[in-house]
Chain A
Amino acid sequence: MSGAPEPLAALLAATARGEQAAFARLYRLTAPKLFAVALRMLRREDWAEEVLQECYMRIWDHARDYREGLSAPMTWMASIVRNRCLDWLRRPAVEVADAEGEVAAATAAPGPGPAEGLDRVQAARRINECLQALEAKQRQAIVLAFYEGRSHSELAAHLREPLGTVKTWVRRGLLRLRACLEGAGA
């Protein structure tokens, strides 16, 4: 996605060779973002810590599987974290607190992040425009699913709509999002 030099990819490559110093740098650069992603989905700091610990061990073990041509390093790592969070949310014992908790407030506060490439800022702006172009209910369903890891049935309960309706919103929303991102208009 990015034509700019990507230090994270180099750090992942060094991690794949077993270089712990590179792995430590990779952690420092990426953990605040990935911790925030896990917090948003799990809404409990202790769970987010546990998940992140497992995920960084996974990144250490599987760095060699990363393919630069397939996805950006951050996308690849975020996918590991989001997948683990979704697994975690599957556990029957998990009772997730309400989204409007203090953690959500904390994550909304601006935090220090690595300087972002212009293309990434532009990509974020573009997907926001495309989200805004969706019908409000499609947008809400997609945003809740992505950031909070809500399943179709949780979305249906939260939005007080029939399951089939919510599934349709998600499906159509994703199709329109893709069309918009590919420049075909929404």
Chain B
Amino acid sequence: MKLAGRPELTERLCAEYALGTLRGRARARFTRRLREDAALARAAAGWEQRLAPLLEAVAPVAPPPRLWRRIEERLAERRAPAPGLWRYLAFWRGLGLAASGATAVLLATVVLLWPQRAPEPAVAQLPASEVPAVYLAVLTDPATRRPALVVSAGRSAAQLAVKTLDPAIHVAGRSLELWALPAQGAPRSLGLVAPGEKAVLALAAAADRALEDVPALAVSLEPPGGSPTGAPTGPVLASGPCVKYW
């Protein structure tokens, strides 16, 4: 349904959306459009606000105490390490990977935390405005939101540098496996992260190809030697957006 140039239809849809009589597939379509069309979202919110005083007539009813307890339990689950990778994927897909403000902070953090890097000119020697052409990812612990690993690769280099910020992420007797999480398709293993402050992983191709279309990285805890299946099997210990910087 075309809404452009049809103010009366737009107004009616917004009103019936707010009232609740816009239903079924029409409502689902309209809801999707609200996400893409700011003017439409404003008009619909205007109608919701217009009808909101009707809510004053609804006398409050205290929900049973168990309701808040259940919500608290679910919040606690969110904070605890989860068993599988996919939950985390859903978790930070929900957050949105394109948090540009966060990315700027990540870059600043990397520049500060990593004053010298082997394959590229040292960051510390560069003017603040010039960071070499690299892929960068800061992987954070979803539970504490503290950075655990920094991963970087020069765009033409066929290797990844991994710096461990939180040594506790390495677990004796288990392997830490790094995964590329492509925009589409299943996670691809990038190899095992050896314990220690710094590790280097060989890439199958130059970073420009290996990390092209990889918006995020994650590390999972795996049996010694890595995942037996080729897909992540253990809990995700850290994850974060992977950005191109040049």
* Interface positions of B from 18 to 37, Cβ below 8 Å from A: 18-21, 23-24, 27, 31
Q: Which of A31, A71, A127 contacts B48 (CB 8 A)?
A: A71
B16 touches A127 (CB 8 A): no
User: Which residues of A sit under 8 angstroms from B45, Cβ to Cβ?
Assistant: 70-71, 75
User: Which residues of B sit under 8 angstroms from A174, Cβ to Cβ?
Assistant: 12, 15-16, 19
Q: A71-B49, A109-B59, A110-B59 are in contact. List 12 more A-B contacts (CB 8 A).
A: A35-B63, A56-B71, A79-B18, A83-B31, A107-B58, A107-B59, A108-B59, A111-B59, A111-B62, A120-B53, A150-B21, A177-B50
* Interface positions of A from 111 to 140, Cβ below 8 Å from B: 111-113, 116, 120-121, 123-124, 126-128
A74 touches B52 (CB 8 A): yes
A97 within 8 A of B: no
A57 touches B71 (CB 8 A): yes
> In whole angstroms, what is the CA distance A110 to B59 when docked?
6
B55 touches A37 (CB 8 A): yes
User: Which residues of B sit under 8 angstroms from A151, Cβ to Cβ?
Assistant: 21, 23
Which 7 pairs from chain A and chain B are nearest by CB? A32-B60, A124-B56, A123-B53, A35-B63, A111-B60, A36-B61, A127-B53
> In whole angstroms, what is the CA distance A72 to B55 when docked?
12
A106 within 8 A of B: yes
B48 touches A52 (CB 8 A): no
A86 touches B61 (CB 8 A): no
Chain B residue with Cβ nearest A33: B60
> A-B contact count, CB below 8 Å?
142
> In whole angstroms, what is the CA distance A14 to B62 when docked?
24
A165 within 8 A of B: no
Q: How many residues of B contact A (CB 8 A)?
A: 39
In the assembled complex, how far is the CB of residue A180 from the closest CB belonging to chain B, in whole angstroms?
11
B64 within 8 A of A: yes
> In whole angstroms, what is the CA distance A111 to B154 when docked?
64
User: Which residues of A sit under 8 angstroms from B70, Cβ to Cβ?
Assistant: 53
B71 touches A124 (CB 8 A): no
In the assembled complex, how far is the CB of residue B109 from the closest CB belonging to chain A, in whole angstroms?
19
B50 touches A52 (CB 8 A): no
B57 within 8 A of A: yes
> In whole angstroms, what is the CA distance A173 to B170 when docked?
65
In the assembled complex, how far is the CB of residue B187 from the closest CB belonging to chain A, in whole angstroms?
23
User: Which residues of A sit under 8 angstroms from B52, Cβ to Cβ?
Assistant: 1, 71-72, 74-75, 78, 123
Would A49 and B55 be within 8 Å (CB), given that A86-B27, A174-B19, A181-B50 are in contact? no
- In this complex, which of A107, A127, A128, A155 has the most chain B Cβ atoms within 10 angstroms of its Cβ? A127
* Interface positions of A from 45 to 65, Cβ below 8 Å from B: 48-49, 52-53, 56-57, 60-61
Q: Which of A36, A121, A149 contacts B60 (CB 8 A)?
A: A36
B59 touches A170 (CB 8 A): no
Would A126 and B61 be within 8 Å (CB), given that A86-B23, A170-B19, A178-B15 are in contact? no
B75 within 8 A of A: yes
B67 within 8 A of A: yes
Interface of B is mostly: helix
B42 within 8 A of A: yes
Q: How many residues of A sit at the interface, in one of the four size bands? A: 35 or more
In the assembled complex, how far is the CB of residue B40 from the closest CB belonging to chain A, in whole angstroms?
12
Chain A residue with Cβ nearest B41: A70
A40 within 8 A of B: yes
B6 within 8 A of A: no
User: Which residues of B sit under 8 angstroms from A71, Cβ to Cβ?
Assistant: 45, 48-49, 52
- In this complex, which of B41, B59, B62, B74 has the most chain A Cβ atoms within 10 angstroms of its Cβ? B59
Would A32 and B21 be within 8 Å (CB), given that A70-B45, A86-B27, A147-B54 are in contact? no
A142 within 8 A of B: yes
B3 within 8 A of A: no
A24 within 8 A of B: yes
